[in-house]
A = this chain, B = another copy of it.
C-alpha cells in the first residue's frame, strides 16, 4: 500500500512542508532512512540525520526549524513520536491476526474458551482456566489450572502462567515470562537448613499491563502480588512475592524488587535497579539505573546511588569522588605546610 504525504497529514492532523504528492510505502529509522519510506524526528540528538536522510517524509514537531536545507518532505505535527505511534498502530491493526486452535494443543475439558481466540500448537490450558474473547495464546505456552485471562490479552510463545493467576484485559506478556512462581520464602532451621514456606497466594495483573520477555513475577505467600493497570515492565525483571506495583509505573530491564515492596503510581524506574524488601516507594518517584534502594522513598523523589540518595547530590559527591586523589594530596600538603608553620615558630 502506498500513501501520499497529503493523505498521511490528513490522518495525523498535520501539515505538509514540501511535496504533497510524495509517496511512501514503508517506514525506516532516520539514521538509516530509505527512499519511499516515512520516518520521524523526536530526539534532538538525531537532528543531524534529517539533512542527509534518504527517507521521503519525516514527521517533525510543528516548531521545528531546520538549520540547513532539507531535501525530504517534512510533515509537521504536534507530537512526532506520538504521531508515529498512531501510524504504526493503524499499520498493526491492518495486519491479519492469528485465530483458531492449532493442533496438537492441550485444552482441559473444564476450561472455558471465549470467542475468536488463538491457541497455538503445544499450548497447554489447565483445568478450570477461563480464556476471554479475542485472547491470543502463542505456541508452547503454559496456562495453569484456574488461571483467568480477560478479553484481548496476548501471551507470546513459551509464556508460563502458574495456577490461580488472574490476568486483566488487553495485557501483553512476552515470551519466557513466568507469572506466579513460588515466592522465595524459607524459615531457617537450627541445623542450618531451610524449611520451605509454601506460597499459597497468587498474582493479579490488572488491565493493559505489559510484561517483558523472561520477566518473573512471584506469587504471594498468602494474598496477592499485584501489578496494577497500565504498568509496563521490560525484560528480565524480578518482582518478589507480595509486591504491589502502582498504576502506570514503568520499569526498565533487569530491575529486581524484593518481597513485600509497595510501589506507587506513575513511577519511572531505570534498569538494573535493586529494591530491598518491605519498602514503600511513593507516587511519581524516579530511580536512575543501577540504583540500590534500601529505604522507603517519598513522593516525587529522584534518586541514584547504592544506597540511594538525591540524584543531584549523588552527582556532586561523585564529581568529588573522581577528584579524591587530588583532595587527599591537598590534605597532605596542608598538613605539611601547617607542620612547617608550627616548627617555624
Contact = CB atoms under 8 A, between A and B. Distances in A.
28 contacts: A28-B222, A29-B223, A79-B187, A91-B198, A104-B104, A106-B121, A106-B122, A122-B122, A140-B142, A142-B175, A157-B160, A158-B178, A175-B178, A176-B178, A181-B235, A186-B232, A192-B230, A196-B210, A212-B216, A218-B235, A238-B253, A238-B254, A254-B256, A256-B271, A258-B271, A271-B274, A320-B328, A331-B331
Interface in A136-190: 138-142, 144, 156-158, 160, 162, 172, 174-176, 178, 181-182, 184, 186-187
Interface stretch (A10-18, A62-70, A109-117, A332-340): A332-340
Given A162-B175, A290-B306, A196 B85 contact: yes
Contact of A178 (B142, B174, B289, B320): B174
Interface of A: 27-29, 32, 39, 43, 45, 79, 81-82, 84-85, 88-89, 91-92, 102, 104, 106, 120-122, 124, 138-142, 144, 156-158, 160, 162, 172, 174-176, 178, 181-182, 184, 186-187, 192-198, 200, 208, 210, 212-214, 216, 218, 220-223, 230, 232, 234-236, 238, 240, 242, 247-248, 250, 252-254, 256, 258, 265-266, 271-272, 274, 276, 278, 289-290, 292, 294, 306-307, 309, 313, 316-318, 320-325, 327-328, 330-331, 334-335, 337-338, 341-342
A25 to B, nearest CB: 13
Contacts of A121: 106, 124
B324 A321 contact: yes
A187 B81 contact: yes
Contacts of A208: 193
Given A120-B124, A342-B341, A195 B140 contact: no
A253 to B, nearest CB: 4
A305 to B, nearest CB: 8
Nearest to A342: B341
B236 A82 contact: no
